[in-house]
A and B are shown apart, each in its own frame.
Chain A
């Protein structure tokens, strides 16, 4: 079974600063996908960024980037130039390459961006 661990329950930074959220996972699979989802108070899960395990290049989406270390089973999210609208719960998630599209989520990190 796969597990995802987020060791930072809460983080807080000032607007415009850079923040890194940590995530580790455990799996015996070789091909899989990793995701970061954002859940604002509106409750809807919003995809922030995704990474395919067979790609060595780290994914980047505007101010969001990941540091994917496959051997260490680590998948951290870096948010640059943080904005007030980035305040939300952030979940790291794992999905196997084949079979049902089952996401395995971590416990989440509550990120607060202060003005």
Chain B
């Protein structure tokens, strides 16, 4: 089975620009979550998508938005980039609706490192 893949792996933007990060979920998974991990910190939950709708959101402003597509892949969009948006953005997929035992454990990708100058 394929794991979670994210693109791009690294990118540099300037303040005020917009960025789109992409995530392909693990085969058989139907839910995608996004996390922001600042340098030296633990990841923070941005939001989760299930059945193409946002299903829970962390403490992030509306300029952080997302999409989930019918094939369960996902995009994270960030508008009006700020310097503090520099971070590793992690995508994780899971299966919701299956048995707990291992089925809905989150599987993470390797992340997209965003640098805002």
State the A residues within 8 Å of B (CB): 4, 37, 42-47, 50, 52, 91, 93, 99-108
Contacts and interface: CB of A to CB of B under 8 A. Distances in A.
Nearest to B3: A44
B104 interface: yes
Contacts of B44: 105
A73 B111 CA distance: 30
Contacts of B31: 101
Contacts of B48: 100-102
Contacts, number: 59
A104 B92 contact: no
A102 B107 CA distance: 13
Interface in B63-116: 88, 90, 92, 94, 96, 100, 104-111, 113
A101 B97 CA distance: 12
A91 B88 CA distance: 15
Given A100-B56, A101-B48, A43 B88 contact: yes
Given A45-B92, A108-B41, A108-B42, A103 B110 contact: no
Given A101-B48, A106-B42, A108-B42, 10 more contacts: A37-B108, A43-B88, A43-B110, A44-B108, A52-B100, A99-B56, A101-B56, A101-B96, A107-B41, A107-B42
